A and B are shown apart, each in its own frame.
Chain A
Amino acid sequence: SAVISQKPSRDICQRGTSLTIQCQVDSQVTMMFWYRQQPGQSLTLIATANQGSEATYESGFVIDKFPISRPNLTFSTLTVSNMSPEDSSIYLCSVELGAMAFFGQGTRLTVV
């Protein structure tokens, strides 16, 4: 299994600002995934982050809005840029080990 730590666990931010979410894993993993869960909705994949290369974004998500860093095999960050109230969601980091996905506790973001 994998233990995933996300920071911050929650934040309230002003519109127009940016927030960087950190994800730390206790083992080395090739790929890390970032998901968004909007209020009352299911999870939607934002992007897949490989170490040493640019992240791959899903349809509807762009690098300018959600830049991702992946400096090593145990760490990644997701930035939510130029936030608006529509960005209020839970953002979750995930890793895959042995064909199973493990999730962090999520970052609950509220944009006011």
Chain B
Amino acid sequence: AQSVTQLDSQVPVFEEAPVELRCNYSSSVSVYLFWYVQYPNQGLQLLLKYLSGSTLVKGINGFEAEFNKSQTSFHLRKPSVHISDTAEYFCAVSGVKAAGNKLTFGGGTRVLVKP
């Protein structure tokens, strides 16, 4: 079984400032890691994923995340945010299996970008 903790429920940030969203997980098996974004009144969109290989993962819209196995973390970063980045961000994990990996989500971090 897996669990995910997003340490910040809300993150206010000014436009063009950097942002970091923290995600820690626990698992007894190897994991895949994901960040999803949910814009107001919309569905989930995949921002980026870590499956294997380089621990620094680049995603869409200028976001990146770094997998740190020793700290069981997968923090999301963006060097300069825009108003349009206002959304809820979810970190998720799944156990590595051949198929049928179900996702365990963190509680979400609401990012509010201020002008």
Q: Which residues of A contact B (CB under 8 A)?
A: 30-31, 33, 41-45, 48, 92, 94, 96, 99-106
Q: Give the residues from 87 to 107 in chain B that come closer than 8 angstroms, CB to CB, to chain A.
A: 90, 92, 94, 96, 99-107
CB closest chain-A residue, reference B49: A100
Chain A binding site: helix, strand, loop or mixed by DSSP? strand
CB closest chain-B residue, reference A108: B41
Q: How far is the CB of B96 from chain A (nearest CB, A)?
A: 8
Contact-residue bracket for chain B: 20 to 34
Contact of B43 among A31, A41, A105 (CB under 8 A): A105
* B104 neighbours in A (Cβ, 8 Å): 45
Contact of A101 among B34, B42, B51 (CB under 8 A): B34
CA distance A3 to B101 in the complex (A): 19
Say yes or no: is B32 at the interface (Cβ < 8 Å to chain A).
yes
Contact of A45 among B32, B44, B99, B103 (CB under 8 A): B103
Determine if B32 and A99 form an interchain contact, defined as CB atoms under 8 angstroms apart: yes
* A41 neighbours in B (Cβ, 8 Å): 107-108
CA distance A101 to B99 in the complex (A): 11
CA distance A31 to B36 in the complex (A): 20
CA distance A100 to B57 in the complex (A): 15
CA distance A30 to B100 in the complex (A): 8
Q: Which residues of B contact A (CB under 8 A)?
A: 32, 34, 36, 42-44, 46, 49, 51, 90, 92, 94, 96, 99-108
Determine if A43 and B90 form an interchain contact, defined as CB atoms under 8 angstroms apart: yes
CA distance A108 to B32 in the complex (A): 28
- Asked if A31 meets B108 with Cβ closer than 8 Å, knowing A43-B90, A100-B49, A101-B34, the reply is no
* B92 neighbours in A (Cβ, 8 Å): 101
* B99 neighbours in A (Cβ, 8 Å): 30-31, 96
Q: How far is the CB of A23 from chain B (nearest CB, A)?
A: 12
Determine if B46 and A105 form an interchain contact, defined as CB atoms under 8 angstroms apart: no
In this complex, which of B34, B51, B103 has the most chain A Cβ atoms within 10 angstroms of its Cβ? B103
* A103 neighbours in B (Cβ, 8 Å): 36, 43-44
Determine if A42 and B105 form an interchain contact, defined as CB atoms under 8 angstroms apart: yes
* A106 neighbours in B (Cβ, 8 Å): 43
Contact of B100 among A42, A43, A96, A104 (CB under 8 A): A96
